[in-house]
Amino acid sequence: MIKYKLICKDCNNIFDSWFSNSKEYEKLKKRKYLNCHFCDSKKVEKTLMAPNVLNSLETKKKDINKIKEIKSKLREFKKFIKDNFQYVGDNFAREARSIHYEPKKKNKAIYGKASRKEIEDLKQEGIKTEEFPWIEDKEN
């Protein structure tokens, strides 16, 4: 038996599911037998856990350097966002709508948190958002 953490792309919930092996997971997924324990959506996927990814790379020096390089780029990017955008926290979806529907706010730039569902809703209303990985300052 093998346990996977599955994530639902609709409600963003993560839950554990048991399979006899990795092939069974692929088979069930292909036949659309997998569904979310919370909202019944079929858009569930295995979560990628960073530590496992790192282990499988056998932590080669060049990989580590590459990761450091990417992290430093992300940190630069984060600084740029912080300097130029206004942080709205969990109100991202609401703020994004108010900018979209009120022309005099058009030049306001914001960043914040939103769930997968909120991003999808915004997209359907014609509001484009960008997603990017956010690293915490305490990480090296």
41 interacts with Zn ion by CB under 5 A = yes
How big is the site for Zn ion, counted in residues (CB under 5 A)? Answer: 7
Choose between 10 and 121: whose C-beta lies nearer to Zn ion.
Answer: 10
Q: Please give the biggest Cα pair distance in the chain.
A: 58
Counting Cα atoms < 13 Å in the Cβ hemisphere of 33 gives 9
7 interacts with Zn ion by CB under 5 A = no
Options 40-48, 86-94, 98-106, 111-119: segment touching Zn ion (CB under 5 A): 40-48
Q: How far is the CB of 33 from Zn ion (least distance, A)?
A: 15
Here the tokens at position 78 are: 């984060």
Q: What is the distance between the alpha carbons of residues 72 and 82, in angstroms, rounded to a whole number?
A: 15
96 interacts with Zn ion by CB under 5 A = no
Backbone angles phi, psi at 22, to 5 degrees: -70, -30
Q: Could you list the residues that contact Zn ion (CB under 5 A)? A: 8, 10-11, 36, 38-39, 41
